[in-house]
Amino acid sequence: MSAMRQLDDLSALPVQSEWLNTILKGDCVAALEKLPEKSVDVVFADPPYNLQLDGDLHRPDQSKVDAVDNDWDQFESFGAYDAFTRAWLLAVRRVLKPNGTIWVIGSYHNIFRVGATMQDLGFWILNDVVWRKTNPMPNFRGRRFQNAHETLIWASRDQKGKGYTFNYEALKASNDDIQMRSDWLFPICTGGERLKDGNGNKLHPTQKPEALLARIMMASTKPGDVVLDPFFGSGTTGAVAKRLGRNFVGVEREQAYIDAAQERIAMVTPLDDADLGTMTSKRAEPRVAFVSLIDTGMMKPGTILYDSRKRWAAKVRADGTLSIGDKAGSIHRIGAEVQGLDACNGWTFWHYERNGGLTQIDELRRIVRVGMECAGA
Ligand SMILES: C[S@@+](CC[C@H](N)C(=O)[O-])C[C@H]1O[C@@H](n2cnc3c(N)ncnc32)[C@H](O)[C@@H]1O
């Protein structure tokens, strides 16, 4: 991964090495025009929330709440915010690969408008994820519920967007072998992770926790992928991408945030490749037909296959089906029928005799897969 740079001169950037792991300075709609189309794998966008704050907010002790009142979060009307949303979503859609996905985070102030625009533009929503905050700010006026979460929308580029990355097995394994749910619990960014300016104040009002970005990248990217963040802020996306062996490209308007992000990312040490392996989903692995074991000579027609306790025995036929008595069918169908079930994974159900014991035929499938990968299949 190359050293981090800032790009001010935004002439066209057709060559990836010119913009990979850099921050483009300027308005994201204009800056993204310079990138080639279909050049990024995943987008993470944390756009202005359009918080519509009406005057200062005070705690019961009259101290002022450090709310997001920056110019970049101000829009004249909902219409102006919608036009802005449409423009940046179109810009990121052009540079997103057809099998890419996009994450957008927001609050009740903006996320419903953003979601509707995403659907209007052809993005296909895969999930909304609730980030539940373990340490949310209280509701000081006591007139509403405490606002304790933010919402993320995860969408593919198109309705028919196939082959997007979702590391289902790895997420499940990391979650005590239980499917990862769409409600995530993380603290807001505090303590040593929170960047401070020279006066000890928050450097950026909406710095996101690294754990949130890490979950997103571990779920939807592979090592080496390119993650685009069009609202880079303090560079959380860049810092996490570098640590996790992913590439990034960020866009940010404010020089102070760019400087802080550059310094932050420079301090990050990437994890070793060996620690970055992602457990692959079986569905992502190349498909192997049972008959290819016969085609490759790994299994001879006439071989007898057994279940693990040798309750059933079926014969392999030359056409890649199994027969048992007067029944014939696929390894899955025959496995299901002998057990009286609707479905069965024949690869793990059937075994062959080897060295005096039984070995799952899935072992042979693994060997075929390795051969396919070596051949670049
Ligand atoms: C909600 S903050 C993102 C914070 C970031 N995720 C982090 O963890 O630090 C939005 C950022 O977008 C920037 N911004 C606002 N409008 C922009 C635009 N049109 N183009 C580029 N950046 C913009 C703001 O300066 C601000 O830093």
pLDDT at residue number 377: 45
How confident is the model over 125-175, as pLDDT tens digits? 999 999 999 989 888 888 899 999 999 999 999 998 889 999 999 898 888
Query: Rounded to an integer, what is the distance from CA 30 to the centroid of its chain?
Result: 26
Distance in Å, CA 5 to ligand 1 centroid: 18
Q: What is the rounded CA–CA span in Å between residue 329 and residue 83?
A: 58
CA proximity to 52, closest of 113, 102, 103, 104: 113
Measure the CA–CA gap between 44 and 244, rounded to whole angstroms: 15
Lookup: tokens for 31: 């800056």
Give the per-residue pLDDT at 285. 73
- Cα dihedral sign, 334-340-346-351: negative
Name the residue with tokens 């709440």.
65
Give the separation between CA 58 and CA 201, rounded to whole angstroms.
17
Ligand 1, CB within 6 Å, residue ranges: 27-28, 46, 48, 72, 204, 206-208, 231, 233-234, 236, 251-254, 257
For CA atoms 102, 108, 112, 113, give the dihedral sign. Answer: negative
pLDDT band at 370 (very low <50, low <70, confident <90, very high): confident
Q: What residue owns the CA closest to ligand 1's atom 16?
A: 72
Say whether pLDDT at 376 is over 60. no
Q: How far is the CA of 121 from the centre of ligand 1 (A)?
A: 22
Q: How many CA atoms does the CB half-sphere of 59 hold within 13 Å?
A: 8
Cα torsion 58, 61, 63, 66 to 10°: value is -50
CA distance 202 to 194: 7
Q: Give the whole-angstrom CA distance, residue 346 versus residue 242.
A: 41
What is the pLDDT, as a whole number, of residue 96?
98
The 10s digit of each residue's pLDDT in 267-302 is 999 999 888 877 776 666 778 889 889 888 899 999
Among positive and negative, which fits the CA dihedral 45, 46, 47, 50?
Answer: positive
Q: How far is the CA of 298 from the centre of ligand 1 (A)?
A: 57
- Counting Cα atoms < 13 Å in the Cβ hemisphere of 17 gives 1
pLDDT of residue 1: 45
User: Cα of 23 to ligand 1 centre, how many Å?
Assistant: 12
Phi, psi for 359 (deg, rounded to 5): -125, 135
Nearest CA to ligand 1 atom 18: 27
Tens digits of residue pLDDT in 79-134: 999 999 999 999 999 999 999 999 999 999 999 999 999 999 999 999 999 999 99
d(CA 332, CA 209): 45
The 10s digit of each residue's pLDDT in 197-238 is 999 999 999 999 999 999 999 999 999 999 999 999 999 999
pTM: 0.76
Distance (angstroms) between ligand 1 centre and the Cα of 166 equals 26
Q: Which residues of 150-180 are buried (b: 16+ CB within 10 A; e: fewer)?
A: bbbbbbbbeeebeebbbbbbbbeeeeeeeeb
- 219 C-alpha to ligand 1 centroid (Å): 23
Nearest CA to ligand 1 atom 7: 207
Query: What tokens appear for 69 in the block?
Result: 């009142």
For residue 46, the CA-to-ligand 1 centroid distance in Å is 7
| 232, 251, 258, 259, best to mutate for ligand 1 pocket (most atoms within 8 Å of CB) | 232
Give the separation between CA 35 and CA 11, rounded to whole angstroms.
9
Q: Across-strand partners of 95?
A: none
Residue 2, pLDDT score: 43
Pocket perturbation via mutation, ligand 1, pick of 35, 217, 231, 257 by most ligand atoms within 8 A of CB: 231
